[in-house]
Amino acid sequence: MTTDEESSCDGADPYALARRAGPAPVYLRLAGRRRIQVPVHRWYGRPTRADETVLARCVNPVLDAGCGPGRLCRALLGRGVFALGVDLAPRAVAQTTVLGGIALCRSVFDQLPAEGDWQTVLLIDGNIGIGGDPHTLLYRCIQLTAPTGTLLVEADPDDVEERCSARLEDGHGREGPPFPWARLGTPALHRIAADLALSVTDQWRWGHRRFLALCRHASTPLRRGEPVARWRGEERPGRAASGPGQAGCGT
Q: pLDDT of the chain along its 251 residues, tens only?
A: 233 333 333 445 666 666 665 556 888 888 767 888 888 777 888 999 999 999 999 999 999 999 999 999 999 999 999 999 999 888 889 989 999 999 999 999 999 999 999 999 999 999 999 999 999 999 999 999 999 999 999 999 999 999 988 888 887 777 778 889 999 999 999 999 999 999 999 999 999 999 999 998 555 555 544 333 332 222 333 333 344 544 433 45
- Strands 209-215 vs 199-206: parallel, antiparallel or unpaired: antiparallel
Which one-letter DSSP state was computed for residue 130?
Answer: G
Say if residues 154 and 189 touch (Cβ distance below 8 Å): no
Instruction: Quote the CA–CA distance of 72 and 245 in Å, as a whole number.
Output: 13
| Residue 172 confidence (pLDDT) | 75
Please compute Rg for the chain using Cα positions.
17
The contacts found for 232-237 with CB under 8 angstroms, 24 or more apart, are: 236/107, 236/109, 236/131, 237/109, 237/130, 237/131, 237/132, 237/133, 237/136, 237/137, 237/180
Say if residues 183 and 162 touch (Cβ distance below 8 Å): yes
Instruction: Quote the CA–CA distance of 49 and 103 in Å, as a whole number.
Output: 23
| Residue 84 confidence (pLDDT) | 98
Q: Cis before residue 61, ω within 30 degrees of 0? A: yes
Burial class of residue 211, CB neighbours in 10 A (0-12, 13-18, 19+): buried
Specify the 3-state DSSP secondary structure of 229: helix
| Residue 135 confidence (pLDDT) | 96
pTM for this one? 0.83
Instruction: Quote the CA–CA distance of 143 and 224 in Å, as a whole number.
Output: 10
| Residue 63 confidence (pLDDT) | 98
Q: Which residues contact 10 (CB under 8 A, 6 or more apart)?
A: 2, 16, 17, 19, 20, 174, 176
